[in-house]
Amino acid sequence: MGITLRQAWLETKLFVRGLDNLFWTLAFPMFFVALFGLIYQDTLWEDMGVRAFEYVFPGVVVMAMMVTGIMHTGIGFVEEREKGIYRRLSLTPLQPSAILGGQLLHRYGLILVQTGLLFAIGGLGFGARISGNLGWIWLVVTIGSLCFLSIGFLLAGFVQTARAANGIATAVFFLFLMLGGIFFPSDMMPGFLATVSRALPSTLVNTALREVMIQGRGPAAIWRELAAVGGWFLVSFVVAIKLFRWE
């Protein structure tokens, strides 16, 4: 565990040196919160009985988690491998599980900071009301983060070049984004797409987060979604370790 924590701290120090990393992880999601806040302002969706911004806000949080978990992780991991970083680490006692675990902890910390900033902007800047318990929100964000990060590592295991990783990670990100019920309800989709949507982790995390944030519900209402997302995480992480390559 100590090796994993040291690896996570090293990854964090390397991360803060890159301005592009800070932009895509922190500034880009905040831009979307501000954009939707300005577009919707006090618009009320009467059929749902909720402000439009408050309905969209959990989806923006999930989108931000996927930017870090799928795109930044999948592409960044392959870029580091191309630079020979992991080839040099292969000469040390580090195991693949320690490297992936360190990356997981580092990027999970980023998502927590990212989510905190989004809540600050959404709540203080645009009056988003949070009905649910913050502890349950943290639980959903944690399980969702681990799931998306593991999917990012999994994608990195399938490709050899950063160019290929860029295309694949972007395709998966937009698939999860558009079919995840993030900006419009999954019920609006045709039957087949609606079925696919309900199985995606983006839909599951988004549904659980909305149930807690908007409806104020707890684990009894979202345990199925959390269990399914946990399954996505375990399978993705185990396969990612199996597919790990030093170079």
The average pLDDT across 88-116 equals 79
Q: Residue 75's pLDDT is what?
A: 84
Specify whether the CB–CB gap between 110 and 25 falls below 8 A.
Answer: yes
Q: For residue 211, which amino acid is it? A: E
The tally of domains found in the chain comes to 1
> Higher confidence at residue 114 or residue 17?
114
H-run or E-run covering 50: strand 50-51
Categorize the per-residue pLDDT at 21 as very low, low, confident or very high, splitting at 50, 70 and 90: low
Residue of higher predicted confidence among 96 and 128: 128
Distance CA 246, CA 96 (A): 8
Q: Is the pLDDT of residue 136 over 70?
A: yes
What is the pTM (predicted TM-score) of this model?
Answer: 0.87
Does pLDDT of 36 surpass 60?
A: yes
Pick from 59, 52, 18, 58: which is nearest to 37 by CA? 52
Contact 181, 201 (CB under 8 A): no
Residues 6+ apart with CB under 8 A from 36: 53, 56, 57, 60
